[in-house]
Chain A
């Protein structure tokens, strides 16, 4: 009965609903976009009403929120954090820098396209995106989760070699535990 396809469907539906309405965000707030997170969380926009709240550690988090540019140095940490998160997990690219490098597009030590290194589920455009945009982005994410389409983690697992190759290109001395999710 448990492995029945229909019951599996029901279970999936319920879990997706739960995942959708309970998004614990691990904010990687090294970029300048992090300044937009406090207004989003506090009383004016109050993301918590949508079930979005901060998570303290990657183990507990569902969403990795990359706020802004990633230097080659911080990328390593981000990868590490992402790999420590538990499935299902999602990545939200926040601001233009994660999409194409934004105003740092020609900097020698930032990465331009985050998607080459981590599977981004939702990008939030803007430099910086306002809280409304953030909420809208999360709304999009919720929608994707509800439909079961936010499968960045699966993509990452499947294309791990490609991602690794990209990552290793940026990070010269690679010392990290194997990712065998």
Chain B
């Protein structure tokens, strides 16, 4: 069954691509089918038991799933299906539909393949397929391809090649590419290999997970891809890095003494990533960029959780991974909807869409609240577990760092909502319509889930628990979580259900009190009717203060923002290119010089022949 799914994906991708030459509707249907059919096949027929073996090029490949990858497959295929529905509407009337659909399906296929891989080579193959198909999506718009696209691919390639190096090194030690063999033999490896292999693997995964010094590709790539895809890019594709990290951190590093330091370093890198991502997110004026940086920050939290690696922290990390997929997926979809309806995603241009696109707003609001980690949304449960795990495992400074980042996140959360939906309703956007149903419904479904998980996290903690048991953690149910109760290891708890009911009760009471029309002659006035020193604002007057919104805060944190890792990378790249440019001057173009090179070569060889041979 395992390979059939992949084949269906691949065939679907090709069929969809070529169907575009015949009929657009047919293409849409084929596209949906080639996402949904394998997805439903996956959940219906793939179980941990069935393993598909294949020998290709003398290498033993093996496909199968485990509880951990099932969890991630849930993210990938769930979010993928939602985004697929969305895409059909999103892509209506756009060019390069075949290209988009093809790469979309291919990415999902690659991610499913990664999760199914039981050996490192097929892992790598699918990893690279994922990389280049996502690269092709990144450059879909044809905008900034030589900068953003290349940067993304170069970083991906660095990561992938680090991973490849680790894979071949593992093979030279083990004689096998199987992940199981790696896990089994890792504790017996020489110490330098015990350090080298995790470093290389983590570099590979860290790039996709946008961990701190390797994150510079993410803002551009996330914001450049079409939004329907970015929701997967940020929501699911980055989780592949997390998935890899989970395997490395837990399966390998738990068993060796150096593991502790690795975990600490990774956790701290995650923390710093979170801070940097948040600060830069606050600064952005483009919603896509903002969400991209926000994704970096959120991935930082997840990495912190996984880095700490206690059962609670791991649970927190995985839970956050799921929730992040939900809310960030929704948010990117929302931005896509807004961009489609208004033609821009810049806060400087669009304002006051709340009455035009109410459902998009509701989805965004729920997701933003979830992102900010405020109860009663799913994000809160993840954040809570993360903090508790940091506290209970004595990471007192890290918890401050995380808290700083997540508090500062409110700034950009607010900026996102305010920038698009609130503020003055300008005449320019008076005719904006709500996005088509097919775009709104996926957003609402996703945000409903992030709401549901806030009160009943047990729904998703159950598979997480199964996954963690697969990794060797004990059973966490009933002493770390119940369906709607979460505990920490000190025995403190949050009982979510009564909290939700109280919140709903209070909310409804006051909402009715405030909304009810006949009471107190409550009435609506336009946003032009504001008290601005008795003036009647003119239509062309800009009363929208979403530009340079957080200036005071940015002034306060200015010393941190002055240094950008990106600049160093750019400097390095430019320096290297200049060096290469200089080096190629050795080909002078003069045949005689070349002849002299030959003679010099011979002379040098003759001189050093004793050393060389």
Contacts and interface: CB of A to CB of B under 8 A. Distances in A.
Given a CB threshold of 8 Å, the question of whether A touches B is answered with: yes
A175 B536 contact: yes
Interface in B482-537: 521, 525-526, 528-529, 531, 533-536
Chain A interface residue count: which class? 10 to 19
A176 B529 CA distance: 10
Contact of A58 (B521, B526, B531): B531
B407 to A, nearest CB: 28
A177 B531 contact: no
Interface residues of B, number: 10
Nearest to A79: B534
Contact of B531 (A57, A76, A78, A87): A57
A77 B534 contact: yes
Interface in B530-547: 531, 533-536
A175 B528 CA distance: 13
A177 B528 contact: yes
Nearest to A176: B536
Interface string A60-100: 00000000000000001110110010010000000000000
Contacts of A175: 536
A78 B534 contact: yes
A176 B528 CA distance: 11
B533 A77 contact: yes
Contacts of B533: 77
In this complex, the member of B528, B533, B534, B536 whose beta carbon has the largest number of chain A beta carbons within 10 angstroms is B534
A9 interface: no
Contacts of A58: 531, 534
A177 B537 CA distance: 11
A84 B529 contact: yes
Contacts of B534: 58, 76-78, 80-81
Nearest to B538: A175
Contacts of B531: 57-59, 81, 84
B535 A177 contact: no
B536 to A, nearest CB: 6
A56 B531 CA distance: 10
Contacts of B526: 177
A81 B535 CA distance: 8
B138 to A, nearest CB: 48
A52 to B, nearest CB: 20
In this complex, the member of A77, A78, A80, A175 whose beta carbon has the largest number of chain B beta carbons within 10 angstroms is A80
Contacts of B525: 177
B526 to A, nearest CB: 8
A87 to B, nearest CB: 8
A81 B530 CA distance: 10
B535 A77 contact: yes
Contacts of A87: 521
Contacts of B521: 87
In this complex, the member of B521, B526, B528, B536 whose beta carbon has the largest number of chain A beta carbons within 10 angstroms is B536
Nearest to A28: B534
B215 to A, nearest CB: 44
A87 B536 CA distance: 20
A77 B531 CA distance: 10
Contacts of A177: 525-526, 528-529, 536
A57 B525 CA distance: 16
Nearest to B525: A177
A76 B521 CA distance: 25
Interface in B320-363: none
Contacts of A59: 531
A76 B534 CA distance: 8
B523 to A, nearest CB: 8
Nearest to B529: A177
Contacts of A57: 531
Nearest to A26: B531
A130 to B, nearest CB: 27
A59 B525 CA distance: 12
Nearest to A180: B523
A69 B391 CA distance: 65
Contacts of A80: 534-536
Contacts of B536: 80, 175-177
Contacts of B535: 77, 80
A146 to B, nearest CB: 21
A24 B489 CA distance: 53
A18 B526 CA distance: 30
A174 B346 CA distance: 35
A115 B533 CA distance: 22
A176 B535 CA distance: 9
Interface string A19-57: 000000000000000000000000000000000000001
A102 B531 CA distance: 29
Interface string A140-181: 000000000000000000000000000000000001110000
A142 to B, nearest CB: 23
Nearest to B528: A177
A80 B525 CA distance: 14
A59 B281 CA distance: 34
Nearest to A83: B529
Contacts of A78: 534
Interface in A88-140: none
Contacts of A81: 531, 534
A76 B528 CA distance: 16
A26 to B, nearest CB: 9
Nearest to A78: B534
Nearest to A82: B534
Given A77-B534, A81-B531, 18 more contacts: A57-B531, A58-B531, A58-B534, A59-B531, A76-B534, A78-B534, A80-B534, A80-B535, A80-B536, A81-B534, A84-B529, A84-B531, A87-B521, A175-B536, A176-B536, A177-B525, A177-B528, A177-B529
22 contacts: A57-B531, A58-B534, A59-B531, A76-B534, A77-B533, A77-B534, A77-B535, A78-B534, A80-B534, A80-B535, A80-B536, A81-B531, A81-B534, A84-B531, A87-B521, A175-B536, A176-B536, A177-B525, A177-B526, A177-B528, A177-B529, A177-B536
Interface of A: 57-59, 76-78, 80-81, 84, 87, 175-177
Nearest 9 Cβ contacts at the A-B interface:
A77-B534, A81-B534, A57-B531, A80-B534, A58-B531, A84-B531, A177-B529, A176-B536, A59-B531
